[in-house]
Structure 1
Amino acid sequence: MANIQYYDVILKPLVTEKSMSSMADKKYTFLVHTEANKSMIKDAVEKMFPGTKVKSVNTMNCAGKDKRRGMIVGKTAKTKKAIVQLTEDSKEIEIFAGL
């Protein structure tokens, strides 16, 4: 396993209709490093966003899709998503405030 720092764990927030509607329950969705585990994701969220406390983390591994360009066949990169549930007394994450 590579030496992953907390600022390398979270790649970007994932903004979809489903993720935006779950923000009312203090659930935030992120694309994360494929080798990150749940405890690394929890530490990264709490360090990157001061005042937040993570209640739970759910992760999903997404396989790469098959792509074709003429006769050349390939695959897109695999990704990993994390849904982070914050505690009730936790502060909101500011990235999603203007969306």
Structure 2
Amino acid sequence: MRTSYDIIIKPIVTENSMMQTADRKYTFEVHKDANKTQIKRAVEEVFGVKVEKVNTLNVPGKLKRQGRNQGYTRSWKKAIVKLTEDSKTIEFFEGM
């Protein structure tokens, strides 16, 4: 059994994800085995907000080379969380 802090790994802070905060959408890197209901519960518990919808996508690792050696970067899971209209915003993203 994972805790909420094990499911949410880190927030994704990019130019595109910061533009989505105006639409009450927030982007997180989440545990690879977490499903949408677990992600929804974790975000509601950690940040104290109400989640309307969760979209997830698996990001595959990219092929990287250094000299003759090559390998892949790690693959990970991204979750885009949309909050309800009556919910408060996530304070972490406000200062950015």
TM-score bracket, normalised by the shorter chain, equals over 0.9
Structure 2 match to 1:31: 29
Pairs aligned (count)? 96
Distance apart, 1:38 and its partner CA:
0.4
Structure 1 consecutive aligned stretches of length 4 or more whose deviation exceeds 6 Å: none
Other structure's SS at 1:96 match: helix
Structure 2 match to 1:6: 4
Distance apart, 1:6 and its partner CA:
1.3
Other structure's SS at 1:90 match: coil
2:14 and 2:64 map into 1 onto residues whose CA distance is 23
Gaps of 5+ in 1: none
1:58 and 1:26 map into 2 onto residues whose CA distance is 13
C-alpha RMSD of matched pairs (Å): 0.9
2:9 and 2:87 map into 1 onto residues whose CA distance is 22
Gaps of 5+ in 2: none
**Aligned residues with identical type, % of pairs:** 57
Structure 1 match to 2:76: 79
Distance apart, 1:4 and its partner CA:
2.3
Distance apart, 1:79 and its partner CA:
1.0
Structure 2 match to 1:18: 16
1:21 and 1:46 map into 2 onto residues whose CA distance is 22
Distance apart, 1:17 and its partner CA:
1.3
Distance apart, 1:16 and its partner CA:
1.2
Distance apart, 1:82 and its partner CA:
0.5
1:33-72 correspondence runs (5 A): 33-50=31-48, 52-72=49-69
Distance apart, 1:55 and its partner CA:
0.2
2:5 and 2:14 map into 1 onto residues whose CA distance is 23
